[in-house]
Amino acid sequence: MKGIFIAYDQAYNMDIADAMEKLGCRGFTMWQDIAGRGTQTGEPHLGNHAWPTMNNAILTFVDDDKVDEILKTVREFDEQTPDLGLRAFVWNVEKSY
């Protein structure tokens, strides 16, 4: 099992959540209106006068065989609009209840 954390510009709104459902990822936790700044490119998303946009994030836990398809979908969103900012990170899940 893997945990996937996806941070993205709020402009994607429900697009990411809808994509997760289409990929069979029924369970997730979503945070809205979070601040952040990427490590590579893009502008900060801080919700202030200088940087007014904000981010959202989703955390989902999936079987290992779903990871590549999810990352492919996330990458496709990012390649369509690279200036918005979108990143996904995958963790191993050792135990769950």
- Size (the chain), residues: 97
pLDDT digits 0-9 by tens, 33-77: 998 887 777 778 887 888 888 999 999 999 999 999 999 999 999
Cα-based torsion angle of the residue sequence 70, 31, 54, 24 in order, rounded to the nearest 10 degrees: 20
Domains, in order of start, for the chain = 2-92 (3.30.70.120)
Task: Give tens-digit pLDDT for 51-62.
Answer: 888 999 999 999
Query: Does residue 2 contact residue 62 with C-beta atoms inside 8 Å?
Result: yes
Tell which residue, 11, 72, 9, has the closest CA to residue 45. 9
Taking the mean position of all CA atoms in its chain, how far away is CA 57? 5
